[in-house]
């Protein structure tokens, strides 16, 4: 009897310990379209591994990023704070500065005076790694190994070739593939595959301790370079639409390989896995589709800031469900820290997602969300969303009835417009001045895209 009791206590203790510190894997796509995944309803794209992950977890139907372009969005993700609080809002780094600025492109990056997602998890005993796109500054002081990550395999800049550079010595160092700090050597084969292989190796080496893998794919960002083995796939599509479908297929296979390794090592059940994307698809550049939303990357329409979201933790979260209240990538740090046994810092702007996904908290995680880039701004309060422009009257939309933002209700609800303007201004009073000036032609083009209210045709969805 005594032996049986001891065994029961031991088994209970082991089961509790198993769930105290889950492994954490963040699978992050680049410039993907909201509608370009099977679990999002796409009829043309094939994403079987991510679809299976969605069936094992919860699909977030109203998941947002904190910025409509790569750099600001990732700054919010990695800090857990609205990036405008520390002046990182207007430009992807590195970039061209204004003539009066004392900073140079290489000196632009995520400020070093606060902890990152990596730091928070290191403090909880996690081994941390980044695979792929960093895009938080190319100067050495911004390097991932100095910002809370134990390992790095990727590139410091914002985009690069999916194939090895034949003459790497002619490339800028931020475009080159780097292992840890300063060890530059080009990969073999297709980069999406190489990143998955490196992530699997990291998982295998650290299977006996809690780990965090931030797998920051550069797929499906330009250049449009599908894997040659997929050249015959998606014959019904043409141009960049076909290429982005092929690149998404590679992305899905890579995610499947990582998930498969977790299963092979017996780690899958107690791994918290999140899949998402850094901003809306640019559409004109990579052929992506943000259907059913208006807007593209660089705009604060839903197509620029609402992204796919899947959260799976098979041992703890329900399977095959959806969560329909708004959440945001700012919520990832509080969620990961809490899951890892820590207490989220007070300065964070997000919330722990788990009580909401488990149904323990029935309230909205966020009554109000904000976006800002230069003089453009947006606020979502409940189901109401106000868009502010520098050169035209505001737009007001009820997202519950008009998710495509086609019907402007500003003239019908002037008092609500004033109220939302006031809330947005109060939030903006908390922010720092932008650190980097908006000067690049690409960013100026993104600003002009605020005029685009078209919805991609369902026939090409």
DSSP for 155-213 reads ESSS---SS--SSGGGS-GGGS-EETTTEE---SS-HHHHHHHHHHHHHHHTTTS-EEE
Angstrom distances, CA of residue 128 to CA of 2, 16, 124, 152: 42, 23, 11, 9
In the three-class reduction of DSSP (H, G, I as helix; E, B as strand; rest coil), residue 109 is classed as: strand
Nearest-10 crossing angle of helices 48-55, 239-264? 50
Q: How far apart are CA 367 and CA 346, in angstroms?
A: 18
Phi/psi-derived region of residue 280, left when phi > 0, alpha when psi is between -120 and 50, beta in every other case: beta
Helix (H) / strand (E) element for 27: namely strand 23-29
Location of structure tokens 């939303």: 293
What is the C-alpha end-to-end distance of the chain, expressed in Å? Answer: 63
* Residues 6+ away with beta carbon under 8 Å from 362: none
Phi/psi-derived region of residue 405, left when phi > 0, alpha when psi is between -120 and 50, beta in every other case: left
Which residue numbers are catalytic?
Answer: 70, 135
Location of structure tokens 């600001």: 72
**Interior angle at CA 179, CA 201 and CA 243, nearest 5:** 75
Q: How far apart are CA 451 and CA 454, in angstroms?
A: 9
Strand partners, 154: 132, 178
Residue 68's nearest CA partner among 293, 372, 386 is 372
Within a 10 A sphere around the Cβ of 427, how many other Cβ atoms? 18
Long-range CB contacts for residues 193-196, cutoff 8 Å, separation at least 24: 193/227, 193/250, 193/253, 193/254, 193/257, 195/131, 195/132, 195/153, 195/154, 195/254, 196/253, 196/254, 196/255, 196/257, 196/258
Supply 146's token pair. Answer: 């100095």
């Amino acid at each position: 009897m005594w032996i049986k009791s001891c065994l029961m206590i031991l088994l209970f203790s082991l089961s509790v310990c198993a769930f105290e510190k889950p492994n954490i894997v963040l699978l992050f796509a680049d410039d993907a379209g909201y509608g370009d995944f099977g679990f999002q309803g796409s009829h043309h794209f094939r994403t079987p591994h991510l679809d299976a992950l969605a069936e094992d977890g919860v699909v977030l139907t109203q998941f947002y990023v904190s910025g409509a372009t790569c750099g600001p969005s990732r700054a919010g993700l990695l800090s857990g704070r609205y990036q405008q609080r520390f002046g990182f809002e207007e430009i992807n780094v590195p970039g061209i500065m204004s003539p009066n600025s004392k900073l140079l492109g290489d000196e632009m990056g995520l400020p070093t005076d606060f902890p990152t997602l990596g730091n928070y998890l290191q403090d909880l005993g996690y081994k941390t790694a980044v695979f792929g796109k960093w895009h938080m500054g190319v100067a050495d002081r911004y390097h991932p190994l100095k910002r809370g990550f134990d390992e790095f395999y990727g590139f410091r800049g914002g985009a690069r070739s999916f194939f090895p550079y034949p003459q790497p010595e002619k490339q800028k160092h931020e475009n080159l593939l780097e292992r840890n700090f300063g060890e530059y050597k080009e990969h073999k084969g297709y980069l999406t595959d190489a990143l998955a292989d490196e992530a699997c190796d990291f998982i295998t080496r650290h299977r006996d301790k809690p780990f965090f893998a931030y797998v920051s794919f550069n797929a499906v960002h330009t250049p449009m370079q599908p894997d040659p083995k997929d050249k015959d796939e998606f014959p019904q599509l043409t141009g960049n639409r076909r290429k982005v479908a092929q690149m998404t297929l590679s992305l899905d296979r890579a995610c499947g390989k990582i998930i498969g390794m977790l299963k092979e090592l017996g780690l899958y059940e107690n791994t918290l896995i999140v899949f998402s994307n850094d901003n809306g698809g640019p559409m004109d550049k990579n052929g992506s589709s943000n259907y059913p939303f208006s807007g593209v990357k660089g705009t604060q329409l839903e197509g620029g800031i609402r992204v796919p979201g899947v959260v799976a933790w098979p041992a703890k979260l329900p399977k095959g469900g959806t969560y329909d209240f708004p959440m945001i990538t700012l919520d990832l740090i509080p969620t990961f820290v809490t899951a890892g046994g820590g207490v989220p810092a007070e300065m964070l702007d997000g919330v722990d997602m788990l009580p909401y996904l488990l149904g323990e908290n029935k309230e909205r995680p966020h009554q109000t969300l904000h976006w800002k880039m230069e003089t453009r701004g947006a606020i979502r309060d409940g189901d109401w969303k106000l868009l502010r422009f520098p050169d035209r009257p505001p737009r007001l939309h009820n997202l519950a009835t008009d998710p495509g933002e086609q019907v402007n209700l500003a003239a019908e609800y002037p008092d609500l417009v004033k109220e939302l303007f006031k809330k947005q201004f109060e939030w903006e009073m908390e922010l720092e001045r932008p650190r980097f000036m908006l000067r690049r032609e690409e960013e100026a083009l993104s600003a002009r895209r605020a005029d685009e209210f078209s919805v991609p045709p369902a026939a090409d969805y």
